[in-house]
Amino acid sequence: MLDTLPAHGAAGAAVEFLVFGLKQAWACLFGGAMLGLIIATRYLWPDGAPLARYDFLFLAAVGLQLALLAARLETPREASVILIFHVVGTAMELFKTGAGSWSYPEANLFRIDGVPLFSGFMYAAVGSYLARITRIFDMRYTSYPPLWATVVLAAGIYVNFFTHHYTLDIRLLLFAATALMFLRTQVHYRVFRFRHRMPLLLGFLLVSLFIWFAENIGTWSRAWIYPGQEAAWTPVSLNKLGAWYLLMIISFVLVSLVHRPRGLGGTDDGSAPGFAQSR
């Protein structure tokens, strides 16, 4: 939906669409660079190289972060989001690989147990994208739920990623809670000349879908593999889309602790009472 339709008919709409694509690409700078390196090393990394492919990806990710900060293409606050995501993601990787959910088939030096340290940057790429897109598109919200409630929801989702291996899987309940909490929430974003809007739940789904596509590229390149992909690559199950959707909630809430959600009037506080009135 659009708050204001672009002027000048099809030409105005085409300009908005082009700028939208360019801004999205700019927001994906870190994640896109990492995905490009994963693809490139799939073809170009020589067998028997003194530096393992996974170690190169880790060092490249660290170097990329430092370069983005030095060039002021990324803010220190966004870098802090990436650090948080790396820690949270690595903890999940350690548990999930131990449970056999997926594995890393190549040997390397920079790792904890069976988890190469570059893997945490895959989660960090999601955090980087969300933090950057919030700033680049000047995102504002209406009918935003209380921040404390979103933190409780995100914590429940994160815990369930671990506990469902041993107890009842409550992801359907978490889907329902997510839908109820964000059902009325609209995200308002500026592309170029105009401010547009869309349901936040739809935004979560679209980003999750693109992450699912990226995960297919990652497993095809054998950066990591799921059970059943050992002998030959097969597409990642669509069931994983639901897991990425829930992970999006965690990612979004973590980013909201650094970039506090703002209403259309520019309100910025943790309780978000000013977001309850739509315009």
What does the pLDDT look like over 51-66, one tens digit per residue? 999 999 999 999 998 8
178: its two tokens: 């997510």
Give the count of alpha carbons within 13 A of 118, CB side only.
25
Q: Which band of pLDDT confidence, cut at 50, 70 and 90, is reported for residue 279?
A: very low
The whole-number pLDDT of residue 80 equals: 80
Please indicate, yes or no, if residue 229 is contained in any of the structural domains: yes
CB atoms closer than 10 angstroms to residue 42: 15
Residue written as tokens 């959707």? Answer: 245
pTM assigned to the model: 0.82
Report, as an integer, the average pLDDT of 21-40.
91
Q: Is the dihedral of CA 177, 153, 123, 236 positive or negative?
A: negative
Please indicate, yes or no, if residue 2 is contained in any of the structural domains: no
Please indicate, yes or no, if residue 52 is contained in any of the structural domains: yes
Helix ranges restricted to H, the chain: 9-27, 29-44, 53-70, 76-98, 120-136, 147-163, 171-182, 200-220, 239-258
Please indicate, yes or no, if residue 4 is contained in any of the structural domains: no
Angstrom distance (rounded) from CA 115 to CA 102:
10
Report, as an integer, the average pLDDT of 201-217.
92
Residues 6+ apart with CB under 8 A from 165: 99
Please indicate, yes or no, if residue 17 is contained in any of the structural domains: yes
Please indicate, yes or no, if residue 33 is contained in any of the structural domains: yes
Contact 179, 165 (CB under 8 A): no
- The more confident residue out of 258 and 253 is 253
Most confident of the following: 4-8, 171-175, 189-193: 171-175
Q: Which domain holds residue 185?
A: 9-275
Contact 120, 85 (CB under 8 A): yes
Please indicate, yes or no, if residue 27 is contained in any of the structural domains: yes
Q: Domain tally for the chain?
A: 1
Angstrom distance (rounded) from CA 120 to CA 84:
10
Please indicate, yes or no, if residue 117 is contained in any of the structural domains: yes
Q: Which band of pLDDT confidence, cut at 50, 70 and 90, is reported for residue 271?
A: very low
